[in-house]
Amino acid sequence: MIHKELFEIYPYKFNKKDKKVYFSKGIENLTNFHRKKCKEYNKILNGFNFKNRKNNELLDYPFLPTKIFKNFDLKSVSENKIIKRLVSSGTTGQLPSKIYLDKENANNQKRALNKIMSTLLGNERLPMLIVDQNPRLNEKSVLNARAVAIFGFSIFGKEHSYLLNKNFEIDYKTLNSFLEKNGNKKFLIFGFTSLIYENLIKKMSTKLLNYNFNKGILLHGGGWKKLEALKVSNKIFKQKLFDKLKLVNVHNYYGLVEQTGSIFLECKCGHFITSIFSDILIRDEKFNIVKNGQRGLIQLLSLLPTSYPGHNILTEDVGEIIGEDDCKCGLKGKHFLVHGRAKNTELRGCSDV
């Protein structure tokens, strides 16, 4: 259903007018497809009394709350085509979201992620330091959000090294060996935000380091809940990394396991940007669309989900759209901010890893 040509195009190429031509049609096609292939999704649309009309706008299509993936197994392909099951990193006692992927869906996620990440890293695979344990120590058939992220982003790296040992402690021997070999050239550092803060900023002993981090490119996401409680903003987070490790190339990303592949990278202006594969709407507490500059619940749309009806979801995150096609970074698309979780909502495990 996704136009294969999109995978050959710069992911921030289209302006609002050009994007509307194919994106609205793509969401229409996905809604029709999932309605036919997923009985539960069809029941939901019937409950909304939704009629598919050619003049529907994006805001007219019914969205699914992310919580629904915790309580129902939503699939649009037969069971024998499922090759992977993803789960969110649910907090103890909470049900995780369950996302089912077939080969086509998994491949499209990888291709989209590759196009988006190439704008930051280029097409060269870089030596990669992962601020986590090796997820291969766990069961492979069921992947939680952290493992999904590590495996997903690891395709952009080589010579992978894991900062934390089996006891969740910093492995200085492995770290110094990695930096000795790769510290004098560009290398990629990846991890969840809270783990970056806990290990690189708080626990890391610079006295035990034989080399520095200043050539590193840090990509991090999720895990802001703990930092918000500590009054650590994105600006403070970056400053602490610079003060301690001389890291200047730091990039945040926003994404959900329910729409893996459709990530939003932080531009040089500090905003997240929609790509040609994704879009965003903001709704108030009554689910009405709000104007740019006003805060509300984030609704995410993606052209990638084909094996499950996750193309149009309402998150429990609060954000605001700053503008469209007018960010000073020069990238086309909507640029927006994420302000954290909505009050009185269930905590998402990947927010607190």
Q: Domain map of the chain by residue range?
A: 4-351
Distance in angstroms (rounded) separating the CA atoms of residues 345 and 122:
38
User: Tokens 């069971």 identify what position?
Assistant: 79
What is the mean predicted confidence (pLDDT) over 242-266?
Answer: 93
The pLDDT of residue 348 is 46
Residue 169: half-sphere exposure toward Cβ, Cα within 13 Å: 5
Domain 4-351 part of CATH 3.90.1150.10: no
Q: Name residues whose C-beta falls within 8 Å of residue 15's C-beta, 6 or more positions apart in sequence.
A: 325, 332
Is pLDDT above 60 for 93? no
Instruction: State both tokens at 283.
Output: 């709704």
Q: Do 329 and 267 touch, CB atoms closer than 8 A?
A: yes
What percentage of the chain carries pLDDT values higher than 90? 75
How far apart are alpha carbons 66 and 81 in whole angstroms? 23
Pairing status of strand 334-341 against strand 272-273: antiparallel
Q: How confident is the model at residue 342 (pLDDT cuts 50, 70, 90)?
A: confident
Distance CA 328, CA 292 (A): 16
- 157 and 113 Cβ atoms separated by less than 8 Å: no
Can you tell me the mean pLDDT for 284-294? 96
pLDDT at 349: 42
Per-residue model confidence (pLDDT) at position 139: 54
Q: pTM of this prediction? A: 0.89
Decide: helix, strand or coil at residue 97.
Answer: coil
219: which strand partners?
Answer: 190, 251
- C-alpha span between 146 and 141 (Å, rounded): 14
Q: Which two tokens stand for residue 162?
A: 């894991």
Is a pLDDT exceeding 50 seen at residue 329? yes
* 351: pLDDT strictly greater than 50: no
pLDDT at residue 324, as a whole number? 97
pLDDT(92) > 60: no
What angle separates helix 16-37 from helix 39-47, to the nearest 10 degrees?
Answer: 110
Q: Is the pLDDT of residue 270 over 50?
A: yes
What are φ and ψ of residue 243, in 5° steps? -60, -40
Average pLDDT over residues 232-260: 93
Chain segment 152-202, per-residue pLDDT in tens: 899 999 999 999 998 899 999 999 999 999 999 999 999 999 999 999 999
Tell me which of 127-141, 262-276, 306-320 is least confident: 127-141
